[in-house]
Amino acid sequence: MAGFQNTGIFGEASSAKTGKSDFQGSAGASPPCPQCGSTKLWRNGQRATPFGETIQRWLCRKCGYVFSDPQQLQTFRSMVETLERRLTKPIKGNAERHSNCQICATKTAGGGAKNLEPEQVSIGKVPENVMDNKGKLLQFAWKMQQDGYNAETIRGYGSCLRGLVERGANLADSESVKTVLAREQKWGQNRRRNAINAYTLFLKFNGTTWTKPKCKVTHKFPFIPTEQELDALIAGSHKKNAAFAQVLKETAMRSGEAKRLEWTDIDREKRIITLNAPEKGSNPRMWKVSMTLMEMLSALPKKSEQIFPGSLKSMKGTFIDTRKRLAETLQNPRLLRISFHTFRHWKATTLYHQTKDPYYVQHFLGHKSLKSTEIYINIEHTLFEAGANDEFTVKVAEKPEEIKALLEIGFEYVCQKDNLIFLRKRR
């Protein structure tokens, strides 16, 4: 595609600036007007293709007709046709889509763009013979989707490869990729590992391999805030983000899972939320949630099938602004360490502390393997096992109303002595 950006229709180099054509001094430097046949033309800006390239537009000085350079346009169309013969589906798996709009026709001092005729341009495809990085990454995303990879995995791997390209890596040369990985100091080990895995899959799709550089990821314990800190963030957020955070707190969903929830996934009468579209190969799950959460969800507008429409990235940005404001207001810098995923870590740790049942926590989180859950056992031992006397809160009740109230907030019956009922609840 880059080959026609600054080239005239007969191969001569031409200026991209807007102004009078040089047809008098260079025969054939501009095409004849398809409307009246005149060769007295002005360059009238350029139109952009979906791939970032440009096609020269011409303005006829005699009849005012505006048109795209025929040869450049034909070159572009032939490249697209080549790809259409080889690919059976577009990247997003839908039927082919076309744009009939006028793309980026720039106005000039000689007059506005007149008589612009819509010209069809295929969207979302990259010709195979265009060996630019953008085309390679688009085809890589398409192949990942064809192989059934999760949308978040496709996005993450694409981000890693774009990061390599932006830092000077040539995806056709594995040694240049190694050089960039060795030179890049700002990337953490997790990011480096993901970039290595992304490039390995990229090479696999292209029928080649490489010797992967070593990358040891140090597993760290996640930050576990207090419940009061989480509640402060929820209370300080607007109603959409507050309801979203409350869902994460009570269900330990991943943020991507909660983002895909639909109104049909909620049973208001039974206060049950069902997740049938889990991420990372997790198991489907169901939760009994609080009346507080149900009221927060009911207060949200129902203008979409999704409970939380819009972009997850936008919600994260709003959340970051909120925690920054609250951290300064409450003078608590620990709030800056809380992310959407922190709610999952907190719920898993407190749930194990309450139940001492790792298998229950595993099923609650949707983990396929108990090994993924074991980290919360270690965290719980450190945070809560300060002493045997700190494990439980013990209450004594005598009247039925007192007993009922304590049972409703999680206390469990232990024993009875005389007319006194002893109950306890884990801290």
Q: Residue 389: pLDDT above 70?
A: no
Query: What 3-state DSSP class applies to 363?
Result: helix
Percent of the chain with pLDDT over 90: 40
Residues 6+ apart with CB under 8 A from 226: none
Q: The whole model's pTM is what? A: 0.58
Alpha-carbon dihedral angle through residues 37, 39, 40, 46, given to the nearest 10 degrees? 100
pLDDT digits (tens, 9 = 90+) for 321-365: 999 999 999 999 999 999 999 999 999 999 998 888 899 999 999
Q: Residue 86: pLDDT above 70?
A: no
Cα–Cα distance between 11 and 29 in angstroms, integer?
A: 9
Query: What 3-state DSSP class applies to 261?
Result: coil
Could you tell me the two tokens for 229? 């800190």
Q: Residue 234: pLDDT above 70?
A: yes
pLDDT of residue 402: 87
pLDDT digits (tens, 9 = 90+) for 138-157: 889 999 988 988 777 898 99
Query: What 3-state DSSP class applies to 421?
Result: strand
Residue 410 and residue 425 in contact, taking contact as beta carbons nearer than 8 Å: yes
User: To the nearest whole number, what is the mean pLDDT of the chain?
Assistant: 80
pLDDT digits (tens, 9 = 90+) for 177-189: 999 999 888 888 8
pLDDT of residue 130: 37
What DSSP string runs through 100-114?
Answer: -SPP----BTTB---
